[in-house]
Structure 1
Amino acid sequence: MLGEEWRLHASLFGGRRFALFPLLVAALTAAGVVALVETGTSLSSVIAGLHALVFAFGLHTGSIGLVGRDAIEDLLGDVTLLVFSAHTLPISRRRLLGHFLVKDALYYSGLFLVPITAAFVVAVGQGGFGFLDLGRLWLSTTATFLLGLVVTLALVGIATRGVSGWFSIGGLSLVGGGLWYANVDVLAATPYALYAEPSVLAFSGTLALLVGTAVLGIYAYEPVDAAPTRTRVPVFTKWRRRLGDDTGLTTKTLLDVARSNGGLWKLLFSGGILFAVCVGLVELAERITGVAPSVGITFGALLGLSAFTSYNWITQYDDPTSYLRYPLGVPDLFAAKRRAMVLVGLPTAVGYFALAALLFGASAVDAVAGLLLLVGYHQYLFGLTAALAGFEPNEFLFDSLKFLLFTAAVAAVLVPVLVVGLALAPLGGTTLALLGGVGLGLLVLGELCYRYAVARWTTRLGD
């Protein structure tokens, strides 16, 4: 499995360009650590934030279970991938899934977490941080990533059990909320404690969490070897008429997502992970600076990043070249994806933004400025992703050159706004008005990126 994972990525992105990816991750991490420490952020806070991001990355990596076998068949035809081949190999599905988890832990800890940990060498000497702490940091972040991976697997597995599974998820959520409300120090028995406060409790708690959650996910997960015959109400014509969809491509896109495993809930799930990261970042910034950040500006900027995951979901289920046999062009397909983004991607982000504004009590002016930023960033990320990756946004993430361009283009417009929203609050009316203008400017810039994407990929794929 490890060899196949490497072969797949190397063949997609070129051996040399893909081999440079860990170096790029290390360089970007080192630059971020230096920038945060030099601007007054404590190293312990940086490391705590790193663990939160790594956990979110583990959740996202585990969400491959939401894609399902139906999406793989749509993309690749009638093929059997190694992770789905238990019905042809003399090995049980549970054992195969266990190997798959170990493979992901080893592969991604080497690809991401080793270079991230190595980048912290620039912090040696800061706050008592030494070379020996690098090994402890790698161990705790690897365990944190694996925890995110198995938590998603467990949630997906329980959900396959139907109504009883969803009730179980609700019960577990209530237990977690009760522990939080009772101020129980649950972090003392998590992978983060392996770095922050190493103890017997931290080690045994981490081991129990990882093993218990993995076993639960493996035994609860019950995929089918072949999709059962399903009947659907013929709603295509009705929804096409309601949407005013002349080509039918927008309707097809929405139905592809809705009828795949996880349905449209996948967008809510992805947005929820980003929302949770935003909440953690806001609370961390408030503890560091002693000042409550601007809720509208911070959440507006960060939730706009959900455009990438939304675009990934709506481009997951078809091949753009397959449309060229019809009297349709690449611009028609881009227009359909854009409209689907407006219909499902943007409302998801706006919904989470409204939730944040209510929970944190954002002022009316702050909320309006943040909403303008949200719409601007959402359009900008969509246009930028389409320009760089076309209809395959997932594939360019491991292409070192494209990833560097993407990161630089996002950081250039995101970091300054986040610094203002997190560190310079409370913001006056003039500043909020200027930031609202930034949102409108990003909206225009995103439109230009979108038009460039249409022209570029029309030339490459043919009209």
Structure 2
Amino acid sequence: MFDIFKNMVKEEWRMHSSLFGHNGFALFPVFIFLFTFFVSLVLPVFRQIVSDVQIALGMHYFFLLMGAMIGAFGLMGREFMNRRFGQASLIAYSSRVLPVSERIIFANFLGKDVVYYFILYIVPFVAGFALAAEIVPAGIFSDLSTLLNLVLTLSLSFAIGISAVFFLSTVYAHSGRISLLCLFISSVLLFHVSGNLNQYTLYSLPSLSFFLNPSEKYLLLSGILISVPSAVSLIFLKIDFPQTQKNFSNSFTKICRSFGSYRYAAFVAKDSLDLKRSEGGLGKIIFSFVLPLMLVWILLSSLSKVIPSLSTLTLFALVLGVLSSSMYNWLTEYDIFASYAFLPLKASDMIKSKLNSYLILNLLPLVILILLALKNEPSSLIPSILLFLTISLYMVAVLVYLTGLSPSISLYNAKTFAFYTLSVVPLLMLNIVLSIFSSYYVFMDLMLIPFALYLLGKGFKKWDGNNCQCF
């Protein structure tokens, strides 16, 4: 049992270090530590706006959402590995040749993920926060026992998020259509009731409750929320999908014709078919985008009751712009760009084609934003749309400039991730602070448009001159 776990940890390290380089990947937690430390130095300023309890609330829900998003990535993980490594297979998918049951293998896989990201994210995060607390006044976070408790409860929050999505993905594997229908109905109901949640709803998260008021009851509830979904998922585990031959009509030609003489019609048609026919199909959009988005809206709706000065719709538009940039990752995730090398195309041509598909995909979050604005804050409709569009454009411009056609791979390099974080986080923090005073500050973000276009132009030239690395 432990040998499987140990080998999975080694496998994870070798896989990531082969993609991102040993030094680049090893320095990733170091960057998390340094970034958290420097951000935490301004903690006294934040404590003038929010309380220590509200800071703890934000931390726990951040790691809950991170766990959910990492769990959601598991829906695409197997296909991604097959595309990148061909016939190579992970230990998790080797149950046919190993004298161990699938349930034991995946129990180790789930435990490995929790331990792996605990070391990669949670430990450096709390360590950086703790070091800053030794320098600046940090309120309740100055106590060592409180910081150790924070390590435990953030880990619980992360594990709750990843186990919940693990359960949902198992349901999806057994009945995709039914699970998608249930998720859609649940999303509509949760969006409807989110505005009626009181200020105490957020604090009902057991891991957060245990941090604020240590009690065996909250620890037990946290354990139940982690163990029960995980146990049910392992019991009804399904990883062997029927290998039936699939036949499709020539949809490519039909889609291309619908775009007429559009320059990137063929590329957009291929991207749409890749998303539709890849493993998980449209379910990837639900698990990787709509589900986290639903959680964000619920959290922000409740947070506005805790901090009334915050505009829910403005913050949601900001987060929506950030999350929508992940769609560029989807579009480049499974494509093998070396197959385009014999065509008379430059790297910038491929990037522009992906950006065209990215703009079309952004219609989905735009429609969601408009519907929420009309229902909740009609007066903030125009500012929220402007904020979403400018942040989405800026985020994808930074991604293109720094990572080209390999954002999912390059961002795990510590140096690249550092530049990416320093390019976007200060801007996001400034937007959050300014949103407290007025939602119309977003007109200042229009200045990001020419800068984003400039970055895109520089990115095109950069990757055209470096085709071998881009492809």
TM-score, normalised to structure 2, is 0.87
Counterparts of 1:14-413 in structure 2 under 5 Å? 14-39=21-46, 40=48, 41-67=50-76, 69-121=78-130, 122-123=132-133, 126-129=138-141, 130-162=143-175, 163-166=177-180, 188=204, 190-224=206-240, 227-244=243-260, 245-246=262-263, 248-272=266-290, 273-274=292-293, 276-277=295-296, 279-281=298-300, 283-284=302-303, 286-288=305-307, 290-291=308-309, 293-344=310-361, 346-363=362-379, 366-413=380-427
In structure 1, distance between residues paired with 2:279 and 2:120: 28
Question: 1:173 Cα shift?
Answer: 7.6
Question: 1:182 Cα shift?
Answer: 9.6
CA shift in 2, pair 1:379/1:165, >3 Å: closer
- Greater shift, 308-317 or 409-418, is seen at 409-418
Question: 1:74 Cα shift?
Answer: 3.2
Question: 1:340 Cα shift?
Answer: 0.5
3-state DSSP of counterpart to 1:54:
helix
Q: Which amino acid aligns with 1:459?
A: G
- Greater shift, 351-360 or 166-175, is seen at 166-175
Check conservation: 2:52, 2:140, Cα contact below 8 A: no
Matched, 1:418 2:432: yes
Question: 1:128 Cα shift?
Answer: 3.5
Q: Deviations over 1:387-406 (max 9, x none)?
A: 11111111223211111111
Q: Deviations over 1:260-289 (max 9, x none)?
A: 12323433443331453355246435523x
Q: Select which of 459, 462, 465 maps to 1:459.
A: 465
Counterparts of 1:7-18 in structure 2 under 5 Å? 7-18=14-25
- Greater shift, 44-53 or 123-132, is seen at 123-132
3-state DSSP of counterpart to 1:201:
helix
Q: Identity of paired residues, percent?
A: 25
Question: 1:103 Cα shift?
Answer: 0.4
Q: Deviations over 1:421-453 (max 9, x none)?
A: 1x213x5xxxx2x622523x2222222222222
In structure 2, distance between residues paired with 1:134 and 1:5: 28
Check conservation: 1:387, 1:450, Cα contact below 8 A: yes
Structure 2 runs not aligned, ≥5 long? 1-7
Q: Which amino acid aligns with 2:277?
A: R
Check conservation: 1:296, 1:362, Cα contact below 8 A: no
CA shift in 2, pair 1:267/1:188, >3 Å: closer
CA shift in 2, pair 1:252/1:104, >3 Å: same
Check conservation: 2:33, 2:128, Cα contact below 8 A: yes
Check conservation: 1:154, 1:216, Cα contact below 8 A: yes
CA shift in 2, pair 1:380/1:175, >3 Å: closer
In structure 2, distance between residues paired with 1:174 and 1:285: 20
Q: Deviations over 1:189-214 (max 9, x none)?
A: 62222212221211211111111010
Structure 1 runs not aligned, ≥5 long? none
Check conservation: 1:55, 1:147, Cα contact below 8 A: yes
3-state DSSP of counterpart to 2:139:
coil
In structure 2, distance between residues paired with 1:112 and 1:305: 20
In structure 2, distance between residues paired with 1:373 and 1:190: 34
In structure 1, distance between residues paired with 2:293 and 2:277: 24
Check conservation: 2:160, 2:226, Cα contact below 8 A: yes
In structure 2, distance between residues paired with 1:359 and 1:123: 42
Check conservation: 2:300, 2:315, Cα contact below 8 A: no
Question: 1:83 Cα shift?
Answer: 1.7
In structure 1, distance between residues paired with 2:448 and 2:197: 43
Check conservation: 1:268, 1:348, Cα contact below 8 A: no
TM-score, normalised to structure 1, is 0.88
Q: Which amino acid aligns with 2:160?
A: L
Q: Which amino acid aligns with 2:445?
A: V
CA shift in 2, pair 1:53/1:285, >3 Å: same
Q: What's the C-alpha RMSD, in Å, of the aligned pairs?
A: 2.9
In structure 1, distance between residues paired with 2:387 and 2:255: 31
Q: Which amino acid aligns with 1:193?
A: S
CA shift in 2, pair 1:17/1:140, >3 Å: same
- Greater shift, 105-114 or 82-91, is seen at 82-91
CA shift in 2, pair 1:246/1:388, >3 Å: same
CA shift in 2, pair 1:359/1:173, >3 Å: closer
In structure 1, distance between residues paired with 2:219 and 2:133: 25
Q: Which amino acid aligns with 1:249?
A: F
Q: Deviations over 1:212-261 (max 9, x none)?
A: 01012223331226743212222110001112355612211111011112
